[in-house]
Amino acid sequence: MLKIPFHYLIFLIIIYSNGLIIYKFTAEKKNLNLNIFEVSILGLIFTGFLAVILNFFFPLTDFLLYINLILSLIILYYYRNEIKTSLSIKLNIFIFTFFILSILSIYGSGFSDDLNHYHGGSIINSDNSNYIIGSNFLHNHYGYSSIWLILHSYLNFNDTFLQDIHILNGIILFLCLSYFAYEIYDKKNNSKLIFIASFFIFFFLVKYTRLKEFGLDRPGVIIYCFLIYFFLKLNNLLIKKRKEKNIILMIIGFISLFLISIKITFISCALIPLFFLYNHKCYSFLISKYGFIFFFAIFCIIFKNFLISGCLIYPLDYTCISIVSWNSKDIASNILLGTELLSKSFNLYNGELTSTQYVKGYNWVKTWYSRNFEELNNFVLTSFFVFILLFASSRLKYIKEKFHLDNILIFLLLIINTIIFFKSPVIRFHHLLFILFFICLFLLIRKSFIKNSFYGAILVLLILFNFNKNIIRINDTNLINNPYKHIKSIGWYRAPTKQKIQNFEYYIGWIDAHPVGNMDLSTYKHKKLLWFDVIYK
């Protein structure tokens, strides 16, 4: 029972210390002050890139985690006096509350079918092996190679894998809830920032009560919201030094690259560093050491994708390199069409249109709407409810101000996310669309957002709502968090079956063996290339 909070603290120590060491040697040297939550979230992102690089050479075993933990403790001891100052922040009651809330969310999270899909197998393979060239043939979704799953492989203990899978989700929820609460009560922030931070925190408390449903999308949405706020906050600062601009651009660029590496549907976030580059004319970044570090990270992500699927960006088939024997061009083409058909509810269509005709134009809208009416209304009403709550808990004053360029950026993000939504209209992939819409609505109203006496009471009520949802779930399970036992009781466990191609052994399944997948590789070949296993046609 105590393993979960114990592992939570270990992972949090590693994340914060990794962020602290990066902060000390980059942002702090350029007089860019970041608070403890910003350092921690950037540490989480850096740890993800570290895991990507390490997995080229090593399995992401517990041994690497222990080494990182030892180094983290040394770092924390060395900077102990500064850390004490950082921890002496206001709102400790909120931070403690969100910590408990995230722990309860972990205990209240049951088994997620995403794990049984391809997430679990991907994590286990990275736990026990470096990248396998052509591993997309093991499971045709491994080519997505999400950095979030690689980070899960790094931040888990192998024998408690199914419990640790929720801890990272709990940590990002805790960090962002605490961060936005801290920013809301920071008197230096303007009313627009306070409204945006308030909308984020209210929305998360109302809608994100089940960590088991997080998958890849909800962590991505939470980090995307952090990126929007973090960018707006820094963009409002008077930045005089060119080097300071470069380090900010590097940080924003890394967050954006991390998001795109979680899932390609977050590609719109690339507009944010491009906007900063143009707005602040910091073109020297492109030939600076910070630019070199950023481009090296891009290279590592693309090279990882290339090794796993033979494609630079999977499943975009036109990015696949046909000349390599492990390329997944045909698979990518089929998956891209199949995913679009499924997301547009072609399986429920009874008309005479072919699949190609169905997805063209707006032929799919009627069938899709009848299938998603309830879920769509749920999210529209939830977002509208949060918007109304914010109006009820504030004093609004009309203000005359110029329409800032960063407001235009928010509208552009809404437009691009709407375009992406029409390509893949799965509502749970696009929570950001609803969030951006209501932020844009507030910007159009052009009112000054000032918290009134009801604000704190409403925030407390939403926290209690989230608490109550998870306490009920925990009560239903008698405080037993045993996903391994649960998947057997519901019949979703299957023993892995051993297969072999030449000298390469693999398993069909998703747990309890490695490397694991769901495909028969009898028509494929295997060879060794340096320290890599290669599966090829």
Q: Per-residue pLDDT tens for 222-231?
A: 999 999 999 9
**pLDDT range class, residue 21, cuts 50, 70, 90:** very high
Q: Which of 455, 482, 508 is the last residue of a domain?
A: 455
Residue 302 counted as domain residue: yes
Are 36 and 90 a contacting pair, CB within 8 Å? no
pLDDT at residue 240, rounded to an integer: 47
Please determine, for residue 241, whether its predicted confidence score (pLDDT) is greater than 60.
no
Task: Give the pLDDT band of residue 48 (cuts 50, 70, 90).
Answer: very high
Best-predicted range by mean pLDDT (442-451, 474-483, 501-510): 501-510
In a domain, 238, yes or no: yes
pLDDT tens by residue, 312-329:
999 888 999 999 999 999
Instruction: Identify whether residues 82 and 157 lie together within a single domain.
Output: yes
For residue 268, pLDDT beyond 70:
yes
Contact 127, 516 (CB under 8 A): no
Residues 6 or more apart in contact with residue 392 via CB below 8 angstroms: 454, 458
In the predicted structure, residue 117 carries a pLDDT above the cut 60: yes
In the block, residue with structure tokens 């995913």: 339
Query: Percent of the chain, pLDDT > 70?
Result: 92
Residues 425 and 524 in one domain: no
160 HSE (CA, 13 A, CB side): 18
Higher pLDDT, 11 or 455: 11
Rounded to whole angstroms, the Cα distance separating 509 from 498 reads 9
End-to-end, the C-alpha distance of the chain in Å comes to 47
pLDDT surpassing 60 at residue 487: yes
- Who contacts 379 (Cβ-Cβ below 8 Å, separation ≥6)? 207, 427, 431, 434
Residue 399's pLDDT is 63
Residue 479 lies in a domain: no
The domain in which residue 271 lies consists of: 3-309+491-536
Q: Is residue 425 part of a domain?
A: yes
Same domain, 277 and 362: no
Residue 14 CA to residue 60 CA, distance in Å, equals 15
Judge if 65 and 152 occupy the same domain.
Answer: yes
The more confidently predicted of residues 112 and 195 is 195
The owner of tokens 């954006």 is 256
| Cis bond upstream, residue 315 (ω within 30) | yes
Q: Which two tokens stand for residue 129?
A: 């092996």
Q: Are residues 294 and 384 in the same domain?
A: no
Nearest to 166 by CA among 214, 201, 134, 128: 214
Count of domains forming the chain: 2
Would 348 be classed as within a structural domain? no
Residue 293 inside a domain? The answer is yes
* 8-state DSSP, 116: I
* 495 in the same domain as 433: no
Q: Does residue 98 contact residue 459 with C-beta atoms inside 8 Å?
A: no
Please write the tens of the pLDDT for every residue from 161-212: 888 888 999 999 999 999 999 898 876 778 888 899 999 999 999 999 877 6
Query: Within a 10 A sphere around the Cβ of 488, how many other Cβ atoms?
Result: 12
Domain shared by 451 and 498, yes or no: no
Average pLDDT on 249-267 reads: 95
In this predicted model, what pLDDT tens digit does every residue of 419-475 receive, in sequence order? 999 888 888 888 999 999 999 988 888 767 777 778 888 999 999 999 998 888 888
Mean pLDDT for 9-19 is 95
Question: Beta-carbon neighbour count of residue 287 at 10 Å?
Answer: 8
> Is 120 a member of any domain?
yes
Q: Is the pLDDT of residue 484 over 80?
A: no
Task: Report which DSSP code applies to 268.
Answer: G
Among residues 100, 211, 219, the alpha carbon closest in space to that of 473 is found at 211
Q: Which residue has the higher pLDDT, 105 or 226?
A: 226
Is 11 in the same domain as 139? yes
The pLDDT, as a whole number, for residue 337 is 80
Among 182, 173, 232, 183, residue whose Cα is nearest residue 203 = 173
Does residue 164 lie within any of the structural domains?
yes
Question: Looking at residue 311, what DSSP letter applies?
Answer: B
Q: Residue 89: what pLDDT? A: 62
Q: What does 354-406 look like in DSSP terms, one character per residue? A: -HHHHHSTTTTHHHHHHHHHHHHHHHHHHHHHHHHHHHHTEEEEE------HH
136 and 262 both lie in a single domain? yes
The 10 Å Cβ neighbour count of residue 95 is 21
Q: What is the DSSP string of 123-155?
A: HHHHHHSSPPBTGGGT-TTGGG--HHHHHHHHS
- Could you tell me if 527 and 534 are in contact, meaning their C-beta atoms sit under 8 angstroms apart? yes
